[in-house]
Amino acid sequence: MKRLGEQNCEACRADAPQVSAEEQDSLLMELPNWEVVHQEGVPQLRRVYSFRNFVQGQAFTNRVADLAEAEGHHPAILLEYGKVTVRWWTHKIGGLHRNDFIMAARTDAIYEV
């Protein structure tokens, strides 16, 4: 099976199932720097990326935004001096879908470039 970062997102419907607790634990094994947080009761994947300055963080933010637009799946991104916080979740289902884990892995790949 392909690693998460090599997979493509699938079209998601409003009735798509959220990942189970077992799936979540398994998928997180490929994403050691991500954590599941709850914002207003909605589970989300979150990671904080560090940068030497604002300009590097801004460039990263723009690459994540381009990826999100290309996939039609959009995260919450907070750009601050020296760091960028990214949160992925599937708005249609109010929680986590496999797509969110794929996008988290693809976000990590952008950071490593």
Region 100-110: what's the mean pLDDT? Answer: 96
Q: Residue 113's pLDDT band (boundaries 50, 70, 90)?
A: low
SS3 93: helix
Distance CA 37, CA 77 (A): 15
What percent of the chain is modeled with pLDDT above 90?
81
Q: What is the pLDDT of residue 53?
A: 96
Does domain 41-90 match CATH 3.20.20.70?
no
Q: Per-residue pLDDT tens for 40-77?
A: 999 999 999 999 999 999 999 999 999 999 999 999 99
What pTM does this model have? Answer: 0.92
Would you kindly state where each structural domain of the chain is located, as residue ranges? 41-90
Q: Residue 1's pLDDT band (boundaries 50, 70, 90)?
A: low
Distance CA 61, CA 67 (A): 10
How far are the Cα atoms of 32, 82, 95, 106 from residue 66, in angstroms, in the given order? 24, 20, 22, 12
Do 49 and 80 meet the contact criterion of CB atoms below 8 Å apart?
no
Q: What is the pLDDT of residue 94?
A: 93
